Chains A and B, each alone.
Chain A
Amino acid sequence: MAAIIQSISLNKSFGAVVAASNISIDIEEGTITGLIGTNGAGKTTFVNMITGYLKPDTGTIRFRGEDITSLPPRAITRMGVARSFQIPQLFNSLTVRENLAVSIVARVANGLEGLRAADHDTLDSQAAEVLARFGLSDFGESTAGTLPEGIRKLLDMAVAMVAQPIVLLLDEPTSGVASEEKFAVMDRVMAATRGLTTLFVEHDMDIVRRYATRVIAFYAGTVLSDGPPGTVLNDARVRELIIGESHGPAAAGGRADA
């Protein structure tokens, strides 16, 4: 069975900076993959290319066998690929509930059906349901721009989930979240996204170790290591270049990121 997402020989440069060099990665359905790497290694570029925001210089991207390389983000989203952002992309002056309501109606906003009045009662109950799933019910009437970062990240992911995607890409889901809350946030997200094919970019190795079944390490636009967390996180080059330790074994459960 073909992988749900195939990236074949992706190359992308910004002037002299090589963000992707011959990246070929297959993502199997139902897996949870962690993408790690230093800043500028190409992780977000990879996510941007998969979701259509950037076009690779050369190479192909397939979703369920279909070529999506040249499609815009809105088309790829409609096919079932959703993403959250490093910096939450929300509608800041709308309330949390309104953010979700807009995301729910977005599904019909393109065609002529978009001109028919929306059933606001149904909309509200659907939004409430998503809020509950992500533990955001208390914040329903708060303005999105005034919320703490952890809540905004959850909302960003909730908004992505509204379209009932098949594949979910999360860009640094716990960055900006207080350390003691990271696991709570991640638990909540993973519970809400159970069964989905998930990729997440992360800098926190504890999170990666705990939730990912496969880890891909990026470095300077190439894949340094690819495999189960135990293998990749103990790989000498990964430890030296990404995790930041040059000697010694990885302590079990110890914090490995510098």
Chain B
Amino acid sequence: MTEHRFLVLIAVCAVALLAGGWLLPSWSFVINVAIAKAIAVLGLVLLMRAGLVSFGQALFYCIGGYTAGVLATNYKISEALIVVPLAGFLAGVVGFLLGFLMRRYRDIFFAMLSLAFSMILFGVLVKSADFGGTDGFNITAPTLFGMRITGQARFFGYAFAVVLLALSVIAAWRFTRTPIGMIADAIRENEIRVEYLGVSATRSIHVLYTLAALLAGIGGALNALTVGHVDPEMAFWTTSGEFVVIAVLGGAASLVTPIAAALILEVIRTFAYQYAPNAWQLVLGVVTLALIVFLPTGFAGLLRRRREVSNRSAADAVN
């Protein structure tokens, strides 16, 4: 897909989301929360394209959220335009530092180590009275360009989230078209060959990991501002697991389908909690299972396969 067509696609989706949020304000909160997760999932997808399934993105999600919380509560800075980028940046810095270690691991050990670090943060936060322990703490009303964006003016907060999502997707997509972004796919396929092409796989992974951390931090901050509350659960391994499930259902081959998956899942979850709170995970688990068993590349795989088939039939026609 050319850049032009992709930008048009994103613009159309963004306008659709904005229209939806304007016409159905009661849904804007749910979509807003979903967008926060979607941005975190975007980072995870970038990592998964290199073959690394991180079960620890919750670490950066939580750092982003708590940074937003601390800035708003302790420093009285609740301007979203400052808080979100700052939180993302901090998460990115932690990701960069941790990346020196994480970049040397693969497969299950990468997953387990990433899980360990997020659980370390969880353990620290649960026992820390300063941060509210298991209860966490509330965040005062955020502002945008100085204006309040909660209550009556919630749409502006929603619009901010949609714009943020659109920018993140475009940035991520551009990244996949850069040399490092292209190498990420190759690393998943054959790391030895990548080394023999003169590229340092570990250094490329380091870049990916930092980016994923940044995006997760932005998502966490957005979540914190939207929900108005942070707690250690943000760093619990099941939060990371949720991101992984969304990425798997959406399919890591595309950047757009995981976002759709995040939105759809959050909407379904809101319904499910109302009618069958003890069956929601069951349904999610069954769907995930079915997808892995029958469609290992998720929805994005469906799209790619359809394209491949149409290419092949075109080639057949010529021959």
Most buried by A among B193, B197, B311: B197
The reply to whether B197 and A163 contact each other, CB–CB distance below 8 Å, is yes
25 A-B residue contacts at CB 8 Å?
A74-B195, A74-B197, A78-B198, A83-B196, A90-B193, A91-B185, A91-B189, A91-B193, A92-B190, A93-B189, A102-B183, A102-B185, A105-B182, A106-B194, A106-B199, A108-B179, A109-B199, A110-B203, A114-B179, A114-B204, A115-B207, A118-B177, A141-B315, A143-B308, A163-B197
Known contacts being A91-B193, A141-B315, is A102 close to B174, with CB within 8 Å?
A: no
Determine whether A197 belongs to the interface, using a CB cutoff of 8 Å to chain B: no
What's the least CB distance linking B155 to chain A, in Å? Answer: 34
Q: Which residues of A contact B192 (CB under 8 A)?
A: 89
The reply to whether B189 and A106 contact each other, CB–CB distance below 8 Å, is no
The reply to whether B199 and A74 contact each other, CB–CB distance below 8 Å, is yes
Determine whether A73 belongs to the interface, using a CB cutoff of 8 Å to chain B: yes
Known contacts being A90-B190, A102-B183, A102-B185, is A110 close to B200, with CB within 8 Å?
A: yes
Q: How many A-B residue pairs have CB under 8 A?
A: 95
A145 to B, closest residue via Cβ: B189
Most buried by A among B174, B175, B183, B311: B183
Known contacts being A94-B186, A117-B174, A141-B315, is A89 close to B199, with CB within 8 Å?
A: no
A93-B189, A109-B199 known, 17 other contacts, Cβ within 8 Å? A73-B196, A75-B198, A77-B196, A77-B197, A83-B196, A89-B190, A89-B192, A94-B185, A102-B182, A105-B182, A106-B186, A106-B199, A110-B199, A113-B179, A115-B180, A118-B182, A141-B311
Interface residues of A (CB under 8 A from B): 51, 72-75, 77-78, 82-83, 89-94, 101-103, 105-110, 113-118, 120, 141, 143, 159-160, 162-163
CA A117 to CA B190, docked complex, whole Å: 23
B177 to A, closest residue via Cβ: A117
Known contacts being A72-B195, A159-B197, is A94 close to B189, with CB within 8 Å?
A: yes
**Chain B residues touching A, range:** 20 to 34
CA A74 to CA B195, docked complex, whole Å: 5
Q: Which residues of B contact A92 (CB under 8 A)?
A: 189-190
The reply to whether B198 and A110 contact each other, CB–CB distance below 8 Å, is yes
A77 to B, closest residue via Cβ: B198
Determine whether B178 belongs to the interface, using a CB cutoff of 8 Å to chain A: yes
Q: Which residues of A contact B203 (CB under 8 A)?
A: 110
CA A14 to CA B178, docked complex, whole Å: 41
CA A192 to CA B182, docked complex, whole Å: 26
Secondary structure at the B interface, as helix, strand, loop or mixed, is: helix
Q: Which residues of A contact B189 (CB under 8 A)?
A: 90-94
Q: Which residues of A contact B199 (CB under 8 A)?
A: 74, 106, 109-110
Most buried by B among A74, A90, A108, A120: A74
The reply to whether A117 and B178 contact each other, CB–CB distance below 8 Å, is yes
Q: Which residues of B contact A103 (CB under 8 A)?
A: 197
Most buried by B among A72, A83, A103, A143: A103
CA A117 to CA B174, docked complex, whole Å: 7
CA A103 to CA B198, docked complex, whole Å: 9
CA A114 to CA B198, docked complex, whole Å: 13
What's the least CB distance linking A78 to chain B, in Å? Answer: 4
The reply to whether A163 and B179 contact each other, CB–CB distance below 8 Å, is no
Q: Which residues of A contact B194 (CB under 8 A)?
A: 106
Known contacts being A89-B190, A91-B186, A91-B189, is A106 close to B198, with CB within 8 Å?
A: yes
Q: Which residues of B contact A106 (CB under 8 A)?
A: 179, 183, 186, 194, 197-199
Contact partner of A109 (CB less than 8 A), chosen from B174, B183, B308, B311, is B183
CA A115 to CA B174, docked complex, whole Å: 9
Contact partner of A159 (CB less than 8 A), chosen from B175, B193, B200, B207, is B193
The reply to whether A109 and B177 contact each other, CB–CB distance below 8 Å, is no
Q: Which residues of A contact B182 (CB under 8 A)?
A: 101-102, 105, 109, 118
CA A28 to CA B20, docked complex, whole Å: 71
CA A105 to CA B179, docked complex, whole Å: 5
The reply to whether B190 and A118 contact each other, CB–CB distance below 8 Å, is no
CA A105 to CA B181, docked complex, whole Å: 10
Known contacts being A78-B198, A94-B186, A109-B204, is A114 close to B193, with CB within 8 Å?
A: no
What's the least CB distance linking B7 to chain A, in Å? Answer: 13
Q: Which residues of B contact A102 (CB under 8 A)?
A: 182-183, 185-186, 197
Most buried by B among A73, A78, A92: A73
CA A116 to CA B180, docked complex, whole Å: 9
Q: Which of B132-191 contact A (CB under 8 A)?
A: 174-175, 177-180, 182-183, 185-186, 189-190
